[in-house]
């Protein structure tokens, strides 16, 4: 049961036009913020790595140790399309539509199944800190509904799946917080889950996840930081599988 719940968490937060595709370099006067360049995760079962590439503070692409490549297209400050390539072939595309500068819907085209499927995930904003959306399987079928609750700093502090989960965050800087437009897609469950490690979207860093019914701790993170308050290492204990993962972060600065 516990392993099933962790699987639901991973699905929930990553279920998983024209643009200003400007390939010019930022001007000397334009200061690029702290951005992650490499994230690696190692445990007894696997080793994974994500490599991030940018134009200024806009995400250009992410490559993975498994050979996958994610490409991003912007319109202004917003990511409007993500493309996933495997073996050089386009396998999935996500087109993001916005309303009031928030993601209103995600059109997913999944070419990794046969026949290819397309579906639309609509996001409901019930108030400033409460959203609702459906979780889909690879064939575009709705599996369950998700309600997500955020604090005033954008941290996902409660999520209602078939089980209700609550989480605690630190007060330091999340490694992804300065990637332009990325948080908007991350908060609606569309962040990269290539490392298959549990995290929740936020401007700060996840410390633990608990079952609301029993307050049992499912995930625990022990984080080391640099002098700018960004994580350099995270020792993550998954109590549902007695699995410890070491996650290391490298930055452009």
pLDDT of res. 18? 33
pLDDT of res. 207? 96
Whether 212 shows a pLDDT value over 70: the answer reads: yes
Q: CA-to-CA distance for 225 and 137, rounded, in angstroms?
A: 36
Q: pLDDT tens, 136-170?
A: 999 999 999 999 999 999 999 999 988 899 999 99
Give exposure, 129-163, as e/b (b: 16+ Cβ within 10 Å).
Answer: bebebbbbeeebeeeeebebbbeeebbbbbbbbeb
pLDDT of res. 191? 85
Q: CA-to-CA distance for 14 and 198, rounded, in angstroms?
A: 10
Q: CA-to-CA distance for 6 and 8, rounded, in angstroms?
A: 5
Whether 219 shows a pLDDT value over 50: the answer reads: yes
Minimum mean pLDDT range among 42-51, 54-63, 188-197: 188-197
Q: CA-to-CA distance for 201 and 41, rounded, in angstroms?
A: 18
Eight-class DSSP state of 1: -
């Amino acid at each position: 049961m516990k392993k099933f719940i962790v699987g639901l968490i991973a699905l929930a937060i990553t279920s998983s036009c024209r643009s200003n595709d400007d390939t010019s370099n930022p001007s000397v006067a334009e200061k690029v913020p702290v951005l992650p360049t490499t994230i690696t995760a190692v445990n007894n079962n696997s080793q994974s790595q994500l490599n991030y590439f940018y134009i200024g503070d806009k995400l250009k692409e992410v490559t993975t140790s498994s050979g996958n490549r994610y490409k991003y297209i912007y319109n202004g400050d917003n990511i409007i399309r993500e493309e996933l390539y495997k073996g050089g072939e386009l396998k999935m595309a996500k087109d993001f539509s916005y309303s009031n500068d928030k993601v209103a819907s995600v059109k997913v085209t999944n070419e990794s199944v046969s026949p290819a499927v397309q579906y639309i995930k609509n996001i409901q904003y019930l108030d400033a800190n409460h959203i609702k959306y459906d979780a889909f399987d690879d064939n575009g079928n709705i599996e369950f509904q998700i309600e997500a609750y955020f604090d005033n700093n954008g941290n996902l502090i409660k999520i209602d799946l078939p089980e209700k989960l609550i989480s605690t965050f630190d007060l330091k800087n999340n490694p992804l917080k300065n990637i332009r437009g990325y948080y908007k897609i991350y908060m609606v469950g569309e962040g990269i889950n290539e490392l298959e490690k549990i995290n929740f979207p936020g401007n700060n860093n996840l410390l633990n996840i608990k079952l609301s019914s029993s307050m049992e701790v499912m995930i625990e993170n022990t984080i080391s930081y640099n002098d700018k308050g960004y994580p350099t290492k995270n020792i993550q204990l998954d109590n549902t599988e007695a699995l410890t993962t070491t996650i290391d972060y490298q930055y452009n600065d």
